[in-house]
Chain A
Amino acid sequence: MNVLVVDDSPNLARVTAVALRTLGCVTFTAHNTAEATRLLGAQTIEAIFLDVHLGAESGLDYLSSLRMQPAAPPVILFTAEAKDDVAEEASRRGAFGCLIKPYDLDDRRCLLDQLTRARSRAS
């Protein structure tokens, strides 16, 4: 699965990409929404891991703009906000899932498994 990781923290973007590669994904990384949009245009992306806080930008707003595009890939948000604060808003805006920091590899694996099952059902 081709996965785009969008996070303004270079360390977290890098380690998330390495972690996803160990789970069998091909990864691309972006540190802001402009880079993410460019990669979405240039690559076939099947899922997006998107941080809610992207420096001065909002991942939630970017999620909304993505959901308005036809055939946009599913988005998994990650955030350090309290679960109830963001999870509901993420779901309302059409996120596939939401990871709450601090998270680990198993949390990602679990969501990726759900995503793969959902894709299998859809096809």
Chain B
Amino acid sequence: MPSLHFILVQLPDDAREAVLTAARAEFPTAEIIVGDASPSPANFFSQAECVLVVRAATEGTEPLNTDPEGAPLFPVVTLGAATSGCVDTVPPEAWTPRSLARVFRAALEQHALRVENHRLRGDLKTVARRFRHDVLTPISCINTGTCVLKIVPADETATIAEILQNIDASSAEISQLIERVSFVLRASAEPVKMHKVEMGEVLESVLAELEKEIQQASATVESPRLWPSVSGVPAWLQVIWRNLLQNALRHGGPAARIQLNGSIDGEAYRFTIADCGDGVDSTVIPLLFRPFEQLHSQHSPGLGLSLVHRLITLQGGSCGYTPREESGALFHFTLPRTSR
């Protein structure tokens, strides 16, 4: 379980001792913060952390605990009289350490289910809208190309070749889309056991697979000799590295020089992939790694980095992009050092 923080807001005096006792007994490693106001999502902890807010019931002051996309951010336990008007208020007769411990545990479990429900609903909307859109584009290509082939004179061989090439490419695009979306959905829906994985072996296999693409791009890939063992899913790690490497090959400029690295960063391993291309336009940066479940709601670039984001999140890590000071792009992701 990720690190847990209790935030106690304006607790009734006669509940304070029982809340502290319950929190310390049930969650001995949790950090307890006493605050004056409900936390704002804007100054929130990292996504890898978990927050439980315990607050006094007051009329009309439900805390804002969803992000702009409507995803639940943290569970809230409200203490107060049954007449306070708040839903799910814990009444004074239940302000005992044992009852409160049960309430806290239930609130965390319910929150986890709400988060998962939100993600699954988002996945469905993404398939219904974004996937539909993305697959209809190459289908339109094939439809139009087929119609043109019917009317174009047989001696216009260049036009015919161009259309056939487009039909081929569109067909490949449809296959890739189906494969990617299917991979995300399977990874998200089926429970997978984490293994101890040698990251060096994963990378070796991906680099061998991409050898031809690397040669065709006249690119060089610099990689340290030693890589750590991580806890993860080998097939997912391969997809992550393959996507990030193909991204660097496409956007790293002519004869791209791609640098891979891995280091310890606190409780996590941090992996980076850097290139010397033009970097990412500042208007596009906020759209990189857009969660798969949010792809239905806004214009955004391709599915590749959303797939990477989901696979890393499922393994307990995080990912991001940093512009390089000189020039080029630096993509990075973390994975926890301890097994989950």
Interface residues of A (CB under 8 A from B): 9, 11-12, 14-16, 18-19, 21-22, 53-58, 78-81, 101-106, 108
Q: A11 near B138 (CB under 8 angstroms)?
A: yes
- Knowing A15-B166, A56-B284, A56-B300, the reply to whether A105 touches B137 (Cβ < 8 A) is no
CB of B169, distance to nearest CB on chain A (Å)? 5
B136, CB-defined interface residue at 8 Å: yes
CB of B18, distance to nearest CB on chain A (Å)? 51
B152, CB-defined interface residue at 8 Å: yes
Q: B139 near A101 (CB under 8 angstroms)?
A: yes
B265, CB-defined interface residue at 8 Å: no
Question: For B144, what are the chain A residues with a Cβ–Cβ distance below 8 Å?
Answer: 12, 15-16, 19, 103-105, 108
Bound form: Cα–Cα A49–B129 in Å:
22
Q: Closest 8 A-B residue pairs measured CB to CB? A: A105-B147, A80-B133, A80-B136, A101-B136, A104-B143, A102-B139, A101-B140, A15-B166
Question: For A53, what are the chain B residues with a Cβ–Cβ distance below 8 Å?
Answer: 133, 299
Question: For B133, what are the chain A residues with a Cβ–Cβ distance below 8 Å?
Answer: 53, 79-81, 101
- Choice from A12, A56, A108 contacting B141 with Cβ under 8 Å: A12
- Choice from A56, A103, A104, A108 contacting B283 with Cβ under 8 Å: A56
B117, CB-defined interface residue at 8 Å: no
- Closest A-chain residue to B172, C-beta based? A11
Q: A103 near B140 (CB under 8 angstroms)?
A: yes
- Closest A-chain residue to B169, C-beta based? A11
- Knowing A15-B145, A56-B299, A105-B144, the reply to whether A22 touches B136 (Cβ < 8 A) is no
- Choice from A57, A58, A80, A104 contacting B137 with Cβ under 8 Å: A80
Question: For B299, what are the chain A residues with a Cβ–Cβ distance below 8 Å?
Answer: 53-58
- Besides the contacts A56-B299, A105-B148, what 15 more A-B pairs have beta carbons closer than 8 Å? A11-B141, A19-B144, A19-B148, A22-B148, A22-B152, A55-B301, A56-B301, A79-B133, A80-B136, A81-B129, A81-B133, A101-B136, A102-B140, A103-B140, A108-B144
- Closest A-chain residue to B281, C-beta based? A56
B132, CB-defined interface residue at 8 Å: yes
Bound form: Cα–Cα A105–B62 in Å:
55
Question: For A57, what are the chain B residues with a Cβ–Cβ distance below 8 Å?
Answer: 299
Question: For B163, what are the chain A residues with a Cβ–Cβ distance below 8 Å?
Answer: 15, 18
CB of A2, distance to nearest CB on chain B (Å)? 19
- Choice from B137, B147, B169, B287 contacting A19 with Cβ under 8 Å: B147
Bound form: Cα–Cα A14–B300 in Å:
22
Bound form: Cα–Cα A11–B301 in Å:
16
Question: For B294, what are the chain A residues with a Cβ–Cβ distance below 8 Å?
Answer: none
CB of A5, distance to nearest CB on chain B (Å)? 11
Q: A9 near B148 (CB under 8 angstroms)?
A: no
Question: For B148, what are the chain A residues with a Cβ–Cβ distance below 8 Å?
Answer: 15, 18-19, 22, 105
Question: For B145, what are the chain A residues with a Cβ–Cβ distance below 8 Å?
Answer: 15, 18-19
- Knowing A55-B301, A56-B283, A105-B148, the reply to whether A18 touches B159 (Cβ < 8 A) is yes
18 contacts between A and B (CB under 8 A): A11-B166, A14-B162, A15-B141, A18-B162, A18-B166, A19-B145, A19-B147, A19-B148, A22-B152, A53-B299, A56-B299, A56-B301, A58-B299, A80-B137, A102-B139, A104-B144, A105-B148, A105-B151
B261, CB-defined interface residue at 8 Å: no
B173, CB-defined interface residue at 8 Å: yes
Q: Which of B140, B145, B148, B159 has the most C-beta atoms of chain A within 10 angstroms of its own C-beta?
A: B140
Bound form: Cα–Cα A19–B163 in Å:
9
Question: For B38, what are the chain A residues with a Cβ–Cβ distance below 8 Å?
Answer: none
Q: How does the 8 Å CB contact mask read for B127-165 relative to A, with 1 for contact and 0 for none?
A: 001001110111111011111100110000001001100
Q: A104 near B147 (CB under 8 angstroms)?
A: yes
Q: How does the 8 Å CB contact mask read for B291-302 relative to A, with 1 for contact and 0 for none?
A: 000000001110
Q: Which of A14, A15, A78, A106 has the most C-beta atoms of chain B within 10 angstroms of its own C-beta?
A: A15
